[in-house]
Amino acid sequence: MTNTIVQQPKQVSLLQRKKAVLICLCCVFFFVALYIAGAMMGDTGLRTDFLHRNLPPSLDYPFGTDWLGRDLLTRTVKGLCISIQIGMLAAMCSAVLAGLLGVAAATFGGKVDTVITGMIDVVMSTPHLVMLILISFAMGGGVQGVVVAVALTHWTRLARILRAEVMQLKNADYLQLSTRLGKSKLWIARNHILPHLLPQFVIGLILLFPHAILHSAGLSFLGFGLTPHNPSIGILLSESMQQLSTGHWWLAVIPGVCLICMVKVFDILGNTLRYLSDPQTSQQ
């Protein structure tokens, strides 16, 4: 604070626990519904039907059809499901990597810490997309290419957060006191440190999903990721580009908007959970 005027960000709306829980439930419901819808939809919509090509959105085809007459709604929902799967897989790999490296850096300190923080800096300072493309290309593309590429480029932020958290905890008065009450290191790790890290980890993981999904879509869009055999949302968008000049706007806009919506929902879920998991903000 630079002067005696106390400045405090005013919260626009009063976020309350009830509302927060409701938001979380809605988000989760959204994903479950999406997933079930994806599984329930048959393949009929994916069949080519040259009688109904390039139809704009209508009651029969809410999202329209593409140049092969496939129903865009079915394609979008299935595409989103594939994107979620790949995004989750990539985000989990990334989070596990972050957890291991972050905690190791803070616990061992010294050279281990220097090496790991160095790695974090290197990864963070190289442009994301270039790294993603290089790694995915080197892995030969496909699902494994995308997952490895996203996992290797996204762990840094969470690793940093976890490292800082452990470092701070290590010096906390109540941890030192615990040692002097005769508690073993293992006991302290399990009872003091883990409960602090777990929520951070879970929330970090959820906030990684949207990144992972967006980037796997981006990779596929650019042609370095999934192949058309896995029609994820990125592939849909990539294909639609060729049709854009012919005025078939819905092919790009509708899946794109859906992708953004889904990413936003993940983001909201993560932030609301963070708010709930902090004993102080959760009182408000």
Partner 1 sequence: MLEARKVTFHYPACAKPVLTDIHISINSGDIVGVYGPSGSGKTTLARLLSGYLIPDTGKVMVDGVELPQRGRLPVQLLNQHPELSVNPRWMVGEILAEEAMPGRELLASLRINKDWLKRYPHELSGGEIQRVTIARALGTETRYIIADEITTMLDAITQVQIWQVLLEAARNRNIGILVISHDHQLLNRVCNTVLQLSGQSGGLKAA
Partner 2 sequence: MLAIEDLHISFHRYNKGLDRTKLTPVHNLNLEIGVGEIMAIVGESGGGKSLLAHAVLDILPANAETGGKICFCGQELDRKKINKLRGRKISLVPQSVSYLNPLLTVGRQVFRAAVVAGLSKKEAKIARDSAFDMVSLEEASMKLYPFQLSGGMAQRVLVAMATVGGAPLIIADEPTTGLDPELLAGFLELLRVTIDNGRAAMLITHDLNAARKVADKIAVFAGGTIVEIINNRENLTSDKLSHPYSRALWDSLPENGFNLSEIKHTYSARENGNQQGCLFRGACCCDREQCEKSIPPLMPVKHGLVRCWNA
- By CB under 8 A, is residue 180 in contact with partner 1? yes
Number of residues forming the site for partner 2 (CB under 8 A): 18
CB of residue 156 vs partner 2: minimum separation in angstroms?
Answer: 28
Contact 265, 27 (CB under 8 A): yes
Residue 3 near which of partner 1, partner 2, none (CB within 5-8 Å, type-dependent): partner 2
Closest CA to 90 of 150, 1, 19: 150
CA atoms within 13 A on the CB side of 272: 21
Beta carbon nearer to partner 2, 125 or 280: 280
Q: From CA 144, how far away is CA 159, in angstroms rounded?
A: 22
- By CB under 8 A, is residue 245 in contact with partner 2? no
Query: Per this entry, what is the length of the chain?
Result: 284
Beta carbon nearer to partner 1, 39 or 177: 177
Closest CA to 212 of 196, 197, 232: 232
Q: C-alpha angle 65/265/81, rounded to 5°?
A: 45
Residue 192 near which of partner 2, partner 1, none (CB within 5-8 Å, type-dependent): partner 1
Within residues 195-214, the interface with partner 1 by CB under 8 A covers 195-196
Q: From CA 85, how far away is CA 256, in angstroms rounded?
A: 18
| Residues that bind partner 1 in the complex, under the rule CB under 8 A | 172-174, 176-183, 192, 195-196, 279-280, 283
Return residues touching partner 2 (CB under 8 A).
Answer: 1-6, 8, 10-11, 14-18, 21, 282-284
